Structure 1
Amino acid sequence: MPLIDRADSALVIIDVQNNFYPPTRLDVDRQRFDEMVQRIAWITSVADRLAIPVVVTEEDPAASGHTVPEIRGVLPAKAVTLAKNAFAAWDNPGIAAAIEATGRTTTVLVGIETDICVAHSAIQLHDAGKRVVVVEDAAYAPGSAHDRGLRRVGGAGIEILSTKELFYDWVRTIEYADTFHDTHADLTPPPGVRL
């Protein structure tokens, strides 16, 4: 597989909503969840500065709320946010149209839940002929469901990368990475990501 080309990438943020995991839900590893949110916010900021289009999904926003403020606050002006009723993003005609409208054939997926909405989206996009990448440390499901979801998408031939790997695929060279860091010094790497 070739490296991930930023000029052919679209970022899809799946269902990272205010009420999806309320504070009373005890099976949620809050630290891991919060770090995932920070990584997605950082990836979104990087995508914005690299002119990578962003599509955001919100599953049943009337019940689950809207995208968390940490991510909503860094969305590019041209980002598209759409309600999702089928678990797979691709199975929602409006979302599929928004992904197609980017003109990109590589779809980078982040969000929740790894074993359901992320996995369903990855598999359906892959079956539709897209190159699909799941960012493992920018996806979340409680307990062993996260690892099960990653095994499922990996077994389907979908690429699994870390936040760090994605960043370096997008910037490619030492010179470009240095220039990016100098130009965007305000972008501090998120927890667990050493650049």
Structure 2
Amino acid sequence: MPLIDRDDCALVIIDVQEDFYPPHRLDVDRQRFHEMVGRIVWITSVADRLGIPVVVTEEDPDGSGHTVREIRDALPAGAVTLPKNAFAVWDNPDIAAAIEATGRTTLVLAGIETDICVAHSAIQLHHAGKRVAVVEDAAYSPGRAHERGLRRLSDRGIETLSTKELFYDWVRTIEAADTFHDTHRDLTVPAGVRL
């Protein structure tokens, strides 16, 4: 597979919602979840500055709330946020239409849950002929479900990569990386991502 081409790429953020994991869910590693949110905020901000379209989904927003504030605050002006009823984004006609409207054929996925909505979305998009890459450290499921989800994707031939790898695919050269950092000093690289 070639590197991810930012000019043929859209970012899809799946179901990172305020009340998706209520406080009584003891199996949720809140620190790991918080780190995932920070990576998605940064990826979203980078996508905004590089002109990469962003589509956001919210599963049952009446029950699970809306996208977390930090991500909402980072969304580009042209980002689309849509409710999701089927687990796979591609199985929701309005979301599929929004993805098609970007004109991009490579979809970078981040969000929750790795083993269900992210996996279903990746598999269905892949089956529809799209190139799909899941940002493994910007996706989350509680406990071992995250690793099971990544293993399922790998078994289906779907790419996974890290936040760091995605950034370097998008910028490609030392000069472009340095210029990006110099131009966008307001963007703080999230903890655990070494550039």
Could you state the TM-score of these two structures normalised by the residue count of structure 2?
0.99
d(CA) in 1 for partners of 2:46, 2:77: 14
Match of 1:52 in 2: 52
1:180 and 2:180 are equivalent in the alignment = yes
Aligned pairs for 1:2-41 (under 5 A) are 2-41=2-41
1:83 and 2:83 are equivalent in the alignment = yes
> Deviation at 1:25?
1.1
> Deviation at 1:42?
0.4
1:66 and 2:57 are equivalent in the alignment = no
> Deviation at 1:130?
0.3
d(CA) in 2 for partners of 1:13, 1:95: 11
d(CA) in 2 for partners of 1:70, 1:24: 22
Root-mean-square deviation over aligned CA pairs:
0.4
> Deviation at 1:22?
1.5
Match of 1:191 in 2: 191
Cα deviations by residue, 1:95-126 (Å, 9 ceiling, x for unpaired): 00000000000000000000000000000000
d(CA) in 2 for partners of 1:189, 1:151: 27
1:136 and 2:132 are equivalent in the alignment = no
Q: Which amino acid in 1 is paired with 2:71?
A: I
Could you state the TM-score of these two structures normalised by the residue count of structure 1?
0.99
> Deviation at 1:191?
1.2
d(CA) in 2 for partners of 1:134, 1:12: 10
Q: Which amino acid in 2 is paired with 1:177?
A: A
Give structure 2 stretches of 5+ with no counterpart: none
Cα deviations by residue, 1:151-177 (Å, 9 ceiling, x for unpaired): 001111110000000000000000000
Match of 2:157 in 1: 157
Match of 1:112 in 2: 112
Give structure 1 stretches of 5+ with no counterpart: none
> Deviation at 1:79?
0.2
Match of 1:167 in 2: 167
d(CA) in 1 for partners of 2:101, 2:149: 28
d(CA) in 2 for partners of 1:160, 1:137: 9
Counting aligned pairs with the same residue, the percent is 83
d(CA) in 2 for partners of 1:154, 1:54: 24
d(CA) in 2 for partners of 1:146, 1:98: 27
Cα deviations by residue, 1:21-66 (Å, 9 ceiling, x for unpaired): 1222100001100000000000000000000000000000000000
